[in-house]
A and B are shown apart, each in its own frame.
Chain A
Amino acid sequence: MRITVDYGLCDGLGQCALVAPEVFALDDDEQLVVAPDPAPELAGKVAAAARACPVRAISVEGA
């Protein structure tokens, strides 16, 4: 699974982290951090996190 975040769009709203905290988190400055190589069984959660992004900054391939 390959996750790409468009940091030009990402606004650090953190909705993805609420849906898939195993993979997405905000740092101290509310910038998005993505865990490398998420386990394949998280694919459904990652897809839901991408759908929960208000600015559609997350794309997922190979899930």
Chain B
Amino acid sequence: MVGAGLAGVRACESLRARGFGGTLTVVSDEPDLPYDRPPLTKQVVAGTLTEADIRLAGAEDFGARWIRGTAAVGLDRVRRRVRLAGGAELPYDGLVLATGAQARPWPGQVPAGVLTVRGLADVRALRAAVGGGAREVVIVGAGFVGVELASSLVGLGLGVRVTLVEPFRRPLRALGGTVPDVVAAAARRAGVGLRLGTAVSGFRTAGERVAGVVPADGSDLPAELVVVAIGMVPATGWLAGAGLALPSGRVHCDARLFARTAAADGTAGAVDPRIVVAGDVAWCEAVRSADGPVPLEHWSNAAAQGELAAGNLLAGPAAADGYEHVPSFWTSAFGLRIKSVGLPGTGGRVVAEEGEPGSEKVVEAHYRDGRLVGAVSVNLGKRLVEYARRLQEERDRPEPAGDGRIPMPVAE
């Protein structure tokens, strides 16, 4: 098991639950025991959940040998070995790739006081900075990490002033429809300084530390602490040269979660029957829009893929089950409880099917060429069950020939 986030932990659980009695070695580059990420930017920053509350597994679990604080740095599929930082090699009969992703770093040097947030260590640093008196915070990027952080920081009641800077015109724009505008209005009401349509060109420093963020328009946003929240990059650098297909940096896997090898012409080739993939690192053929596979960065996907990947690894490709999953996601900020099913970002037409568009109680359905592709709710999550059922029906409906299929060499 390489990576011990949610996908890795669920894969460990699933291996043992299915009676795997062999040696299980878990490699994690984090020194911490596995923990859950969604609460990091919400309850952990807010101080309502502790580190112990979000633990996913203990060192005694799964009868596993844990190697923590050590990164996998290479994979030799022919000799079936994972190389670790420090030079040790681990042989394997089966391998689960669950290395997730890292926060996308700022493109360029950053001064002290500029953080990204993906893990517990980042949130500790953020809390320490605020605990140490930082009151002027600028967050760069209004995706869900930036928006949740802004909400949690202004909610602390410590008088933290938060400015959220985003190059696009809307926060959480991936949700589409009117929901981003609802979020923007709620953020402003909560006292967040929202600078939409504003690109950041760099940082101003005082000595070694950050003192401000410099937008491209030449203005200046004073900052004692800056959080760069501009997305994520899959953690596959260590797989370079392993001969796996890595479209957009993710590990390409078939509908049964087996990793595809890279064919000589660079396209995805046969599967490696000893390697399965799960979670944010995966680019799975079974998760697709009309344009082809879509990567998911959702909790529910990591949990479900971890469980299935382990089962399929034990079963082998011939007896493995396909991944059948309706994507689902939630986020919350400024008192808005936002949920989605399907792939709302891939739709063209958005219809408010319950509640008033632009209000704080609404369900918006997303259609593409007349087909439902996703739905987003604000404070009306009860309606999503119906959309999930419809999406499942859409998925099970045969696609018209030639509709969005990607050419794919036949697996071995």
Contact = CB atoms under 8 A, between A and B. Distances in A.
Contacts of A17: 382, 384-385
Interface in B319-344: 326, 328, 330, 337, 339, 341
Given A30-B337, A54-B36, A54-B299, A18 B388 contact: yes
B303 A14 contact: no
A21 B382 contact: no
Contact of A18 (B337, B341, B380): B341
A26 B382 contact: yes
B94 interface: no
A36 to B, nearest CB: 18
Interface-centre pick from B299, B339, B341 (highest chain A CB count, 10 A): B339
B159 to A, nearest CB: 27
Contacts, number: 47
B38 A18 contact: no
Given A51-B307, A54-B36, A54-B38, A15 B300 contact: yes
B328 A15 contact: yes
Interface in A1-39: 12-15, 17-18, 21, 25-28, 30
B303 A18 contact: no
Nearest to A29: B379
Nearest to B307: A51
A63 B330 CA distance: 29
A51 B11 CA distance: 12
A15 B220 CA distance: 43
Contacts of B300: 15, 18, 52, 54
Given A21-B389, A54-B299, A13 B330 contact: yes
B36 A14 contact: no
Interface residues of B, number: 21
B167 interface: no
Given A26-B382, A51-B307, A14 B389 contact: no
A11 B154 CA distance: 21
Contacts of A18: 300, 326, 328, 341, 384-385, 388
A25 B380 CA distance: 12
Interface string B299-319: 110011001000000000000
A14 B379 CA distance: 12
A35 B325 CA distance: 24
Contacts of A28: 382
Contacts of B328: 15, 18
B381 interface: yes
A13 to B, nearest CB: 5
B192 to A, nearest CB: 23
A21 B385 contact: yes
Given A52-B303, A54-B36, A54-B299, A12 B337 contact: yes
A21 B341 CA distance: 14
A1 to B, nearest CB: 19
A25 B303 contact: no
28 contacts: A13-B330, A13-B339, A13-B381, A14-B330, A14-B339, A14-B382, A15-B300, A15-B328, A15-B330, A17-B384, A18-B328, A18-B341, A18-B384, A18-B385, A18-B388, A21-B385, A21-B388, A27-B382, A28-B382, A30-B379, A30-B382, A51-B303, A51-B307, A52-B300, A52-B303, A52-B304, A54-B299, A54-B300
Interface of A: 12-15, 17-18, 21, 25-28, 30, 51-52, 54
The 10 tightest CB contacts between A and B, nearest first, are A26-B382, A14-B381, A21-B385, A18-B388, A30-B381, A26-B381, A17-B385, A13-B330, A18-B328, A54-B299
